Structures are given as C-alpha cells and as structure tokens.
Structure 1
Amino acid sequence: MDTAASGNRPDRDRDEQGRARNTRPRDGLGRPLPRGASGVARQPEGVVRSPEESLAEAQRLLDGGMPFHAHEVLEDAWKTAPEPQRALWKGLAQLAVGATHAARGNLTGAVTLLRRGAGHIEPYRDEPPYGIDVAGLLRWARDHATVLEGGAGQVPTPRLRGTG
C-alpha cells in the first residue's frame, strides 16, 4: 500500500495503533523542543484516576507552572467521567489550556479558552462536586480573560479547590 495514499507518512511518529503522535521532547508549557533536547516528562495518556486524584495532580502541575500538563490530566478525567460531569472536566481542561496560552503569549487563544471553559463549568456553580471552587474559577477565568483582552499577558495559577 502506498503510504502517501493511506495518509501514513513514514517521517511521522506513530503510536501502537498507528495514530500520529509527536515524540519530540516538550518544555514545561508543552511546546515541542528539537529532537535530542532535554524536556519535561510528558503526562501519560489515558490514566484513569479518581476525581480527587485528578484534582490533586492537576493542581500540583498548575502550581509547578505546567498548565499544559495539568490540562492532560484534566482531559483524561473528562474522557472517563460519567456523562453528567463531562462538561465540568472539559471546562477545567479548557481553563488549563487558557492558562497555557497566556503563558505562551497567545492572548487571543487564552481569552477564548478561558471564556469557553467558564461556560462549561457554569452549570456546576450551585452544586460543585468534589469541593471544586466553581464560583472562584468562574471569577478567575472571566477576570483574567478581561485583563488579557486589554493586552496584559500574565495569569496567576488557578485554585481548583479554592484557597484551602
């Protein structure tokens, strides 16, 4: 079979299922580095964690200045969550991506993802599960989206479970 016709390019990294997967090392914000460079260990994909474990690991990564990696943890939670909670985890993952974009200097992407993530978590405001500070995250996301629209590029670390 012709690899070009099948969409499989021999110069692309692939996983065991044949899906394209970039194996280049990455920096703390998830940006690909040149092959052979030292990078930050990537988060393993498809890890099933309890909601508490997901929140703790994501917060650890956020606190360590690695919002891209936190997003990967939250994305795993989103993909394995029961249907009624998927939008919550999707929104949390999007907030982490918004923080990633801000840290990378992509203010437009940051504003878009912070607002989109806030929209996904809003329905959980009145009854937030797992001690998630939904109201605080909504303030954080919306306030920083507004600041970023004004041209400022710094977003402080969000607290998934408030200050406690």
Structure 2
Amino acid sequence: MVRRTRDEAGRPRNARPRDALGRPLPPGSDGVPRIPDDLDLPPSDSLAYAQDLLNRGLAFNAHEVLEAAWKNGPEDERSLWQGLAQLAVGITHVQRGNPTGASALLQRSSHNLREVDSAAAYSVDVGGLIGWAEELIGDLGASVDIPPSRLRPVLTREPGR
C-alpha cells in the first residue's frame, strides 16, 4: 500500500506525479509540473496564473491555483474564489470525458458566482463566466462535441468594460 505524503502539520499531500489532466501517474513517472501546496499569490497574480494555465489547457492546475487563492483569501471573497476553482474543475471533467461531473461542478460554480456582487473584485467577469458555464452545461446535455479552444474562459474583464 502506498502511503500518502504528509506535511509538517500532518495534513495529507499527494506527491505523486500527475498528467496534464491532473490524473495521478505511477510513482517515478514524468508528469506536468505541480502547483506548490503552499502557493500564496496576490489575487491579481492568481488570476493571471490561472488564466495562463487555462489558455494552455491545464485546467486542473488552474484549479489548484484558484483553490489556493480561495483558501488564502478573506472570507468575504470565498464565493468568488470557490466558484472560479469549481469552474476549472468542471473544465477538467470535460477534458477527462466526464460530462456528468462537468455539469455538476459547473452548476456549483455558477451558484457560487451568483453569490458574488456583480462588481466583483479584481475585474472578474462574473456575469460572463456564469453565462459561459450555462452555455457549456447546455452543450454537454445535448452531447455537443466541445473543442479544446472552447474550454478557455476569460476570467477577467478588460479595464473600462
């Protein structure tokens, strides 16, 4: 039995390498670079990093960046960061061929993003992301083929928009 790696506080950490879709690989395999468990970036840097990962098709890694921002951020921003992290996990499920899981996570994402003030912090395009997620959910339900380019939502609005 493989034992999980634990940090200094005893919390489980999975040190196994992962593929581009976040699936664990056998120990010793080459995988994609991991997002550090202790990632703590300013919000605008977290969004830029997550956007770059999404643009490169690495939604699982984007999820890890957004989850770190959620865990490190203030309580009043929890719905924003949690919704963004769930959006990235929903995309990961689409990439893995799991439309049921994708729809469930995209619905949770939309629910959390609806809890965010429409003038979201950091220029996050909350309304646009909710619309994007709902359209993707509809396509998944209709078994529409989703091209990889469609799985790259834009997280923030351009200044002045």
Q: TM-score, normalised by structure 2?
A: 0.89
Paired with 2:102 and 2:111, the residues of 1 have a C-alpha distance of: 14
C-alpha contact 1:71 1:97 (8 A) present in aligned 2: yes
In structure 1, list runs of 5 or more residues that go unmatched: 1-9
Displacement of 1:35 after TM fit?
A: 2.2
Q: TM-score, normalised by structure 1?
A: 0.87
Displacement of 1:82 after TM fit?
A: 1.0
**Aligned residue number for residue 6 of structure 1:** none
1:128 aligns with 2:128: no
The partner residue of 2:151 within 131, 153, 156 is 156
The partner residue of 2:109 within 117, 125, 137 is 117
**Aligned residue number for residue 29 of structure 1:** 21
1:140 aligns with 2:132: yes
1:30 alignment partner, SS class: coil
CA RMSD of aligned residues (A): 1.7
C-alpha contact 2:17 2:31 (8 A) present in aligned 1: yes
**Equivalent residue pairs, number:** 155
Structure 1 stretch displaced more, 96-105 or 16-25: 16-25
Paired with 2:129 and 2:39, the residues of 1 have a C-alpha distance of: 24
1:77 aligns with 2:69: yes
Report the AA paired with residue 135 of structure 1: G
Displacement of 1:135 after TM fit?
A: 1.0
Paired with 2:157 and 2:144, the residues of 1 have a C-alpha distance of: 24
1:127 alignment partner, SS class: coil
2:94 alignment partner, SS class: helix
Paired with 2:12 and 2:122, the residues of 1 have a C-alpha distance of: 35
